[in-house]
C-alpha cells in the first residue's frame, strides 16, 4: 500500500509504540487519526488529529469512528490496534479487577475497534488491520498468565480474521514483539537506549514494512526479538 494520503487509525497513540507508529506513518505521507485516553505530548502535524477514546467502551469507539470519518473522510485504510496494558503476578494472588482490565483493553477493545472499521474497509475492498500482540502470545511465562492469555486471544483472533476478510481485499497482520523499551507496566525508559531491548521505532518500522508490502503479499504474522537479549 502506498501510504500517501491514506487514513490510518492508531489506538494507544499517546506514547510508546503508538506514538512512534504515528510519527512513522506521518513521515510516509499518511493522514493519522490518533485514538487514546490522552493526547500525545509534542506531536503537532497538519495530517495528525487526536480523538479522545477509551477503547474499553464500545459506544466510545463507535463515536470516535464516526468523528474520524466526519473529520478525515469516509475512507479508512489502516487500523493499528496497539492499545494494551499488562498487569503481572501469580494467579492465586492476582486481582480479578486487573484481569478484567487487561481483557477489556487488550481483547474486547481490539474487537470493538476492528468491528467498527471493517464494514468501511470491505466496502472499499482495501484495508489493512495491524494487531499488536506479543511474544507472550506464543509461549507462557510464569507470573504473566493473564497477560499471556490476552495475547494468545489476540493471536487467535488475528489468525481467524485474516482468513475471514481476505476475500474482501482486507489484510490482517499480527505483530508479536518481544522486549520493547516503553512505559509499559509503569517502567520508565532510560535516557540511553537499552541495547538489550528493541525501541518503539523498531516496531513502527515493522508496521510500515507490513503496510507497504505489495498488494499481492500478506505478512500474516511477524515475530520480533532483540538480537542479543540479557
pLDDT in tens, the chain (230 residues): 999 999 999 999 999 999 999 999 999 999 999 999 999 998 999 999 999 999 999 999 999 999 999 999 999 999 999 999 999 999 999 999 999 999 999 999 999 999 999 999 999 999 999 999 999 999 999 999 999 999 999 999 999 999 999 999 999 999 999 988 766 655 555 556 677 789 999 999 999 999 999 989 999 999 999 998 87
DSSP string over 174-221: EEEE--B-SSGGG----SSPPTTSB-HHHHHHHHHHHHTS-TT----E
Task: Name, in order, each residue with C-beta under 8 angstroms of 226's C-beta and a sequence gap of 6 or more.
Answer: 178, 179, 196, 197, 198
201: nearest Cα among 16, 32, 63, 13: 16
CA torsion, ordered 202, 8, 127, 12, to nearest 10 deg: 60
Query: How many angstroms separate the CA atoms of 101 and 107, rounded?
Result: 10
175: nearest Cα among 230, 213, 142, 141: 213
Catalytic residue status for 152: no
- In CATH terms, the fold of domain 7-224 is Rossmann fold (3.40.50)
Q: What ranges do the domains of the chain cover?
A: 7-224
Entry field: residues in the chain: 230
Contact 77, 32 (CB under 8 A): no
**What sections of 125-188 are H helices per DSSP?**
145-165
Biggest distance spanned by C-alpha atoms of the chain? 50
Identified catalytic residue from 35, 147, 152, 162: 147
Amino acid at each position: 500500500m502506498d501510504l500517501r494520503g491514506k487514513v490510518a487509525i492508531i489506538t494507544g497513540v499517546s506514547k510508546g509504540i503508538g506514538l512512534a507508529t504515528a510519527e512513522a506513518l506521518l513521515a510516509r505521507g499518511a493522514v493519522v487519526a490518533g485514538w487514546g485516553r490522552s493526547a500525545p505530548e509534542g506531536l503537532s502535524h497538519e495530517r495528525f488529529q487526536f480523538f479522545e477514546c477509551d477503547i474499553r467502551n464500545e459506544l466510545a469507539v463507535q463515536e470516535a469512528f464516526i468523528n474520524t470519518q466526519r473529520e478525515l473522510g469516509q475512507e479508512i485504510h489502516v487500523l493499528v490496534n496497539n492499545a494494551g496494558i499488562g498487569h503481572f503476578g501469580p494467579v492465586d494472588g492476582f486481582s480479578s479487577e486487573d484481569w478484567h482490565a487487561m481483557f477489556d483493553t487488550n481483547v474486547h477493545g481490539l474487537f470493538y475497534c476492528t468491528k467498527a472499521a471493517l464494514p468501511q474497509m470491505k466496502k472499499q475492498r482495501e484495508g489493512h488491520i495491524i494487531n499488536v500482540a506479543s511474544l507472550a502470545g506464543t509461549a507462557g511465562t510464569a507470573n504473566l498468565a493473564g497477560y499471556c492469555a490476552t495475547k494468545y486471544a489476540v493471536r487467535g483472533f488475528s489468525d481467524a480474521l485474516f482468513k475471514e476478510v481476505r476475500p474482501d481485499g482486507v489484510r490482517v497482520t499480527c505483530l508479536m514483539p518481544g522486549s520493547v523499551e516503553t512505559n509499559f507496566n509503569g517502567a520508565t525508559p532510560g535516557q540511553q537506549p537499552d541495547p538489550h531491548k528493541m525501541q518503539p521505532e523498531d516496531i513502527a518500522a515493522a508496521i510500515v514494512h507490513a503496510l507497504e508490502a505489495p498488494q499481492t503479499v500478506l505478512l500474516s504474522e511477524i515475530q520480533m526479538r532483540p538480537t542479543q537479549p540479557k
